[in-house]
Amino acid sequence: MANMLTTYQNTTAQVRMITDYISLIDPHDAVAIELLGGLDGARSKFSFTTANQTKVEWLTDELYPLSSSLATAMSTTTETTVAVASGQGVRFKAGDILQIDSEGMYVTSVAGDNLTVTRAFFGAAATHAASAAIAITGQARLSGADSASRAIPEITSDYNYTSIYHEEVSASGSDLSIDYYGLDNILEYKARMVIPHLTRLLEKNLYHSSRNAGSATTPRSAGFFDAFITASTTYNGINAAGPIAEAHLRDATKAAYMDGGSGPWLAFFHPNNMGNLVALYNSSSLLRIDRDETTMGMKLFKYSGPYGDIDFVLDRWAPTDKIYIIDPKHAGFITLRPWQREQLAHTGDAYSEQVIGEFSFAIRHPNTAHAVIYGLT
């Protein structure tokens, strides 16, 4: 029909069909912040005082050390002086039972870093190389012996600073006057958008940080995982030198357990490293299977090993070359200033606000209760 109108004509005057909702797909999750107790989770874990400062400090203590090492070799089976590592004689007292290699010894007196011992308290007398490990395995005090003391470990403190997170949003008078689909107020919408953006930066800071006191010309900044946990085999660092393997998880939990850690731990995985865990399924001895005939694929949630359990956390912001293994009882965020919107001075035909927050991070026993797997590829 020649006079028929179609939807392809007069389009200028047509009313648009448009959503009244604005969808956001950019990744903005902050799983580590949530699992560590939120933005102020450390305040209750660490029993901070009510005082608020830009520098936060926490106290730690430890029990008496139970080990040392030989400063010099014991080259005969009859010598009765044990020279321990420099400055570590204070760890011992008369009545301690020692074990070096398979030989037991009984400490009769201590003078500086030299212990006088009775040999072959258990096992056979033997020679021992320099740097051989010395373990205190018990006590056997003489009846009626005088009191003897050993050095009490000193209470120590650690610290961190706060970081300020900030963005400014603005809108013209015209922007604030016109109508928009999906929102009531453009300035309020922009301010709401900024908070997940800044939270995302705070989450990313967990893995890339520098602890600095700041100055008039240098910003103050909080340190996070990488500022406290040392990626070294001297501490609880496991050098993978390749893809993640079950042995790395086992060795990391063992290192933390041997230093007094108790777990359960959280392990923060980049998606690349989570994908590499598929290689662990090459050995059926590592599998625990609940069969489901309608679902294909596998999800990994936990490692359960002889030294404790690790819950796997997929975090898109985690580094690809490291997996931090954290005991959440000993780590968390501290809020000095929660997220807040503040109006700025009105300039011309523009209205501005700033969104600002200030946070820090606390972690106890960073190189004993926690661990890190590094050198991942």
Residue range 280-305: average pLDDT?
Answer: 67
pTM of the model: 0.83
Query: Could you tell me which residue, 238 or 62, shows the higher pLDDT?
Result: 238
- Can you say whether residue 47 is alpha, beta or left, with left for phi > 0 and alpha for psi between -120 and 50 degrees? left
Indicate if the pLDDT at residue 6 is higher than 80: no
For residue 36 the two structure tokens come to 């560590």
Chain Cα centroid distance, residue 122: 42
Query: Could you tell me which residue, 182 or 155, shows the higher pLDDT?
Result: 155
pLDDT of residue 103: 97
pLDDT digits (tens, 9 = 90+) for 191-236: 888 888 999 999 999 999 999 999 999 999 999 999 999 999 888 9
Closest to 102 measured CA to CA, from 74, 82, 126:
126
pLDDT of residue 183: 78
Minimum mean pLDDT among 21-25, 28-32, 311-315, 327-331: which range?
21-25
Please give, one letter per residue, the 3-state secondary structure of the chain: CCCCCCCCCCHHHCCCCCCCCCCCCCCCCCHHHHHCCCCCCHHHHCCCCCCCCCEEEEEECCCCCCEEEECCCECCCCCCEEEECCCCHHHCCCCEEEEECCEEEEEEEEECCEEEEEEEEECCCCCECCCCEEEEEEECCCCCCCCCCCCCCCCEEEEEECEEEEEEEEEEHHHHHCCECCECCHHHHHHHHHHHHHHHHHHHHCCCCCCECCCCCCCCECCCHHHHCCCCCCCCEEEEEECCCHHHHHHHHHHHHHCCCCCCEEEEECHHHHHHHHHHHHCHHHCCCCCCCCCCCCCCCEEEECCEEEEEEECCCCCCCEEEEECHHHEEEEEEEEEEEEECCCECCEEEEEEEEEEEEEECCCCCCCEEEEEEC
Assess contact for 307 and 250: CB atoms under 8 A: yes
Indicate if the pLDDT at residue 12 is higher than 90: no
What percentage of the chain has pLDDT greater than the value 90? Answer: 62
Assess contact for 275 and 312: CB atoms under 8 A: no
Burial of 177 per CB tally in 10 Å (0-12, 13-18, 19+)? exposed
- Rounded Cα distance between 42 and 64, Å, is 27
Residue 20's pLDDT band, with cuts at 50, 70 and 90, is low
Residue 60's pLDDT band, with cuts at 50, 70 and 90, is confident
HSE (CB half, 13 Å, CA atoms) of 248?
24
- Rounded Cα distance between 111 and 285, Å, is 53
Residue 324: count other Cβ atoms within 10 Å of its Cβ.
28
HSE (CB half, 13 Å, CA atoms) of 359?
25
* Mean pLDDT score across all residues of the chain: 88
Residue 51's pLDDT band, with cuts at 50, 70 and 90, is low
pLDDT digits (tens, 9 = 90+) for 101-131: 999 999 999 999 999 999 999 999 999 999 9
Closest to 207 measured CA to CA, from 223, 218, 191, 188:
223
How large is the C-alpha radius of gyration of the chain?
30
For residue 328, whether the previous peptide bond is cis, meaning omega lies within 30 degrees of 0, is no
Closest to 109 measured CA to CA, from 139, 78, 64, 148:
148
pLDDT of residue 29: 79
**Which residues touch 189 (CB under 8 Å, ≥6 apart)?**
22, 180, 183
Assess contact for 329 and 363: CB atoms under 8 A: no
Residue range 85-92: average pLDDT?
Answer: 94
- Rounded Cα distance between 102 and 132, Å, is 11
User: What is the number of residues in the chain?
Assistant: 377
pLDDT digits (tens, 9 = 90+) for 232-268: 988 899 999 999 988 999 999 999 999 888 889 999 9
